[in-house]
Each structure stands twice: as C-alpha cells, then as structure tokens.
C-alpha cells in the first residue's frame, strides 16, 4: 500500500467500499488487499476472488477462500483458464464448487492454452463451442485446432474461422482449414479484412485458391487503412472503389494512397461533406 492510500484511510472518515478490495485484487496489489481485509475489516465482493483467479495469483485465491463468507463465480475459473493459469484452475476445481462455463474453453482456446484445454477435458469440464475454435483460428493457434480435430472431431469451426485467421495474417491456419475442413465456406469479408489489415500474402492465397475474393466494392476500407500494396494488387485485378476511397485515405493521412488513387484510378473526387479537401489534391 502506498503512502497516499494509507494516509487517506488513517486521516479521513469516509472509509472505502468493497470496490477498493476488488480493484486491488484486479491490479495485483496483494498487500493492499490483506491490509484492507485485516485492518479495515473491509470485505470485497465476489469479484475479488474472480479477479485474483483471473490474474493467476493462487496464494491470494487461497487466502481469500479461507475468509468467512468468501464467494466467487464461474468467472474465476473461466478467467484463470483464459489466462493459462492451470495451477489456479486445478485448485479451484478441487477446492471450490462454482465450476466453470463454456467461456473457460473459449478463452483458453483464444489464447492458445492447450494444456488448460487438455486438463479441462480430462477433468470432464470441457464444454466446446465453435466460437472457441474460431477464436483459436483467429489467434493462430494451430496446436489447439489440431488437438481438437484429433480428439473432438464432431466439434467444428464456423466460417468465421477463415475471416478471423485471414484478418490477422495467419496464412498457415487458412491453409490448415482448407486441408482439414474442405467443406467450410470462406466468407467474402475474409479477403476484405485481410486486405484492410495489409496481409497481402493471405489475400493472394485466398484469390489463387478460389476460396474467396475481395468484393469489388470494398477497396474503400483498404484505402482508409493506407494499405497501398494491397490496394495496388487488387486494383490491378479489377477491383474498384467508390469516390469516398480517396476521401477516407486523405482523412487518415495516407498521402501515398491518395496519390495512387488520384493518378491511377477513375475515382477522382476528393470531397468531405460536399467540400473540397485542402492541399490542392484534385
């Protein structure tokens, strides 16, 4: 506890609420938690234990659990699983009754914590979902995807898996999805999101494989993000943009993109709310 906190508590009579304990738990101030609970007799809410578990502080979890009337929710184990804190997950499962929800798998999968997923499965606590698998794809966690395919084959990704993987540049995941889930449809927005994020190698692969292509109407977003290489590549293959593409690129300060659009594209207008933008770009 720092001097300011101690001075306020020693010299003012406003006191504090359970939010003080909760916040200290969330932010890792274990000494402050101990002092508030022991010296000020201020208990936290159920969120205190949830926060301590989610941030992986097992000794604080044990200490809070020994306090009379301590409670938590499924968010404790869910958060611990999402953070990869297997020791906390195991302790909660063995010493408390709240259990976990489907979010435990989803967060663990999203963050690539395969050891947590395997333990939840062994303990009979694993509740799979396509949302979790999609999140694993978006995070580039091929190990999680492969393990799920090998051990939980009836659980499948949704089409969002392609979009999430493509938008974050995980070409290896896109290739894996095509190989192991060939019936999975790739949404058009996957190529568009990849282009807007500048992942040109993913855009090229999606186009070459015939899985999906960026629509002709969405160069505007690519321009707004200033992804000039992707913009040029798509333009050379017939993709088009509206006049607002120049406007968006200019508003975001992407001069190279503005120059390219004005010199190489037909969409020459550069207006904003009906007015010409400054800088003499026309």
pLDDT digits (tens, 9 = 90+) for 217-247: 568 889 989 999 999 998 888 777 777 888 8
In a domain, 93, yes or no: yes
Task: Calculate the alpha carbon distances from 115 to 46, 112, 122 in Å.
Answer: 27, 9, 11
Q: How many CB atoms lie within 10 A of CB 67?
A: 14
Q: Looking at residue 47, which CATH number applies to its domain?
A: 1.25.40.20
**Residue 268 predicted with pLDDT over 60:** no
In a domain, 160, yes or no: no
Report how many domains make up the chain.
Answer: 2
Asked which of 52, 87, 108 is the last residue of a domain, the reply is 108
45: containing domain = 1-108
Asked which of 108, 133, 161 is the last residue of a domain, the reply is 108
Residues 50, 79 contacting (CB under 8 angstroms): yes
Q: Hunting for tokens 């186009």 — which residue is that?
A: 207
> pTM value?
0.80
pLDDT-based confidence at residue 140 (cuts at 50, 70, 90): very high
In a domain, 141, yes or no: no
Contacting residues for 267 by C-beta, under 8 A, at least 6 apart? 240, 241, 242, 243, 245, 246, 261
**Which two tokens mark 151?**
């051990």
Minimum mean pLDDT range among 44-48, 56-60, 137-141, 261-265: 44-48
Asked which of 57, 73, 108 is the last residue of a domain, the reply is 108
Supply the pLDDT for residue 99: 93
Phi and psi angles of residue 49, each rounded to the nearest 5 degrees, phi first: -70, -40
In a domain, 138, yes or no: no
In a domain, 3, yes or no: yes
The DSSP secondary structure of 53-120, one letter per residue, reads HHTT-HHHHHHHHHSTT----HHHHHHHHHTT-HHHHHHHHHH-S----HHHHHHHHHTT-HHHHHHH
Rg (CA), the chain: 26
């Amino acid at each position: 506890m720092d001097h300011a906190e101690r001075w306020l508590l020693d010299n003012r009579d406003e006191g504090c609420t359970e939010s003080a304990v909760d916040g200290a738990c969330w932010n890792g101030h274990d000494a402050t938690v101990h002092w508030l609970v022991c010296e000020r007799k201020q208990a936290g809410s159920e969120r205190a234990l949830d926060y301590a578990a989610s941030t992986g502080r097992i000794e604080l979890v044990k200490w809070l659990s020994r306090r009379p009337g301590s409670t938590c929710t499924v968010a404790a184990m869910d958060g611990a699983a999402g953070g990869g804190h297997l020791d906390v997950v195991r302790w909660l499962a063995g010493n408390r009754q709240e259990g976990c929800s489907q979010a435990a798998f989803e967060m663990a999968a999203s963050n690539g914590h395969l050891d947590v997923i395997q333990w939840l499965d062994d303990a009979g606590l694993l509740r799979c979902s396509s949302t979790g698998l999609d999140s694993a794809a978006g995070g580039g966690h091929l190990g999680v995807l492969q393990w799920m395919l090998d051990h939980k084959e009836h659980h499948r990704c949704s089409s969002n898996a392609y979009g999430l993987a493509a938008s974050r540049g995980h070409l290896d995941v896109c290739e894996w999805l095509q190989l192991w889930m060939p019936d999975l449809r790739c949404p058009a927005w996957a190529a568009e999101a990849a282009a807007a994020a500048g992942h040109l190698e993913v855009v090229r692969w999606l186009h070459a494989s015939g899985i999906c292509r960026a629509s002709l109407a969405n160069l505007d977003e690519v321009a707004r993000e200033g992804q000039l290489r992707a913009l040029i590549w798509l333009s050379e293959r017939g993709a088009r943009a509206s006049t607002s593409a120049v406007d968006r690129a200019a508003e975001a300060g992407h001069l190279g993109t503005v120059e390219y659009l004005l010199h190489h594209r037909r969409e020459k207008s550069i207006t904003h709310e009906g007015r010409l933008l400054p800088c003499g770009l026309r």
